[in-house]
Structures are given as C-alpha cells and as structure tokens.
Chain A
Amino acid sequence: MVRVLGWLVMAFAVAPREVTQGNVQRIMYVHVPLILASYLAFGVLAVASLVYLVRRDPGADRLAHASGEVGVMFVGLGIATGSIWGKPTWGTWWTWDARLTSVAILFVMYLGYLLLRGTIEDPERAARYCAVLGIVAALDVPLVHFSVYWWRTLHQPPSLMKPGGFAGSSSILWPLLVNLVAFALLYAYLVARRVRLLRAEAEATA
C-alpha cells in the first residue's frame, strides 16, 4: 500500500505542470516546495533529536537520520532547480541572493550532519552527537537567515525578479499549494521507508 501511495504522490507532484501558462516561471512549482519540504525535514530532525536526547529512544534517532537524509536531498534539489531557474531569469547560474545563500548554507550544514553520522561507528554515540548537532543547526537557521538577509538587502536592493515570490495571482498560488502538499507527502513517504530500512538494519546487527 505504501508503495502505491509513493507513486501516486510522484505523479501528483508533476501534474500541475499543464495548468499554468508555459514559461520558465513554472520551475517555481518544484523549487519552492522542495525548499519548504526541506525546512519541514530539518524541523522534524530537530524535534526528533530533542526527543532522542530526552528519552534516548532509538526510534527518534532513526527518524532524525532519515529526515536529515531526505532533507539534504530536497534542499540540494531546491538549490539546483533554483539555479536552473536563475539562468534564464538573471543570466547567471548563481547569485548571492538572500534566499539562495541561506538555503545553500543550510545544505552545507546538514551535509555536515550526514558526514558526522557516517564517521562515527558506534551507533549509540553517533545518535547522541547527531542529536546535539541537529539541535544546534536548527537553532542556527534563524540566525543564518537574519545575517544573510541583512548582508544582502542592506547593500544591494533585492534582485529584480525575486524567485519564489509568494504573493501572486491565485492561478499561481493554487498549483503551488497542490505541489506543496505533494512534496510534503513525498517527504513523509520517503522518510517512513528509510526509517523502516534503518530499523531492519539495526535488527540485523543486534
């Protein structure tokens, strides 16, 4: 059943493409949900890390691990689609635009999370250290946003065509919302599967 849900979500996520008028702006329907879903993933990671520190429950650690993985994949894709979108719009693959920069820092920060998890052999110690890093990173996100935002806007007016402008006519908003739900479901599905795999791996070695 879960696999069916997965495929349904995949198809669903691509569906809205036809609804809007064809132009490059349509990348937004993938770029924005990816970024928002990754925030969801890192939020879940932080909460799961906190639960792990309090209750030392391996299930919470597995959820944090899975959520971190999917989150890094989503934010990585978000950056890629963002820069693909930037090329025609601004003529360059990358601009140090406030949103793209803070998302890029997020990507590197949580990539470090996965690296830390990969480096420590003892699962119990890895869980503990990653929980601490997960919380520190989550608390750091608002600080990153503020500092990057001030750094960009105080010196250079926000770029003309600010990608991912949330305001917009309802014809833009509706497919965006649909896609957002689709990617959130996709996130939940992938994490659920990854958690099951982690549990199976743990049982295999226990």
Chain B
Amino acid sequence: MPDNWGFVAAAYGLTAAVLLWYWRRLAKKERELERVNAGSETTVAERSREPSKTGHPRPEPSPRTPLQ
C-alpha cells in the first residue's frame, strides 16, 4: 500500500477546515448578537440568517449596522 500522505493530509485538513469554519461562524454570530443587544434596545435586531449547510456556505448578507 503506497504511502499516500497527500490523501491523509487532505482528509485531516478538510475536517479541520470545516470544523474551524463552523466554530468561527458561531463566534461571529455571538459577537454580532452581543453588539446588537449592547447597541440599544430600540433598534430591531436583524434576525441573522439561518446557518447554512456545510460544504457550500450561503453568501452571508452583509450585516447592516443597526440604525441608531
């Protein structure tokens, strides 16, 4: 069995990449939510889009800064 390091690296790399992407998305949303809550009570918090599926992340809408 030839030693295909490339494939092993690809598999591990992909797994780590997707997990990292999901982890960072959660963190981004949490920060976004905190900013909106901390921002001001009157603005209507823009409901962040439903999280997209793996593999082909939907284009995130540009997060508008809530109107002051």
Chain A positions within 8 Å of B, measured between CB atoms, are: 6, 10, 14, 17, 22-27, 30-31, 34, 69-70, 72-73, 76-77, 80-81, 84-85, 87-88, 111, 114-115, 117-118, 186, 190, 193-194, 196-197, 200-201, 204-205
Contact = CB atoms under 8 A, between A and B. Distances in A.
A204 B61 CA distance: 19
B1 to A, nearest CB: 5
A118 B50 contact: yes
B6 to A, nearest CB: 9
Interface residues of B, number: 31
B54 A77 contact: yes
A70 B29 CA distance: 16
B15 A77 contact: yes
Interface of B: 1-5, 7-8, 10-12, 14-16, 18-19, 22-23, 26, 29-30, 33, 36-37, 45, 47-48, 50-51, 53-55
Contacts, number: 96
* Chain A interface mostly: helix
Contacts of B11: 27, 30-31, 80-81, 84-85
* Chain B interface mostly: helix
A196 B7 CA distance: 36
Count chain A CB atoms within 10 A of each CB in B10, B11, B19 and give the residue with the most. B11
Contacts of A31: 11
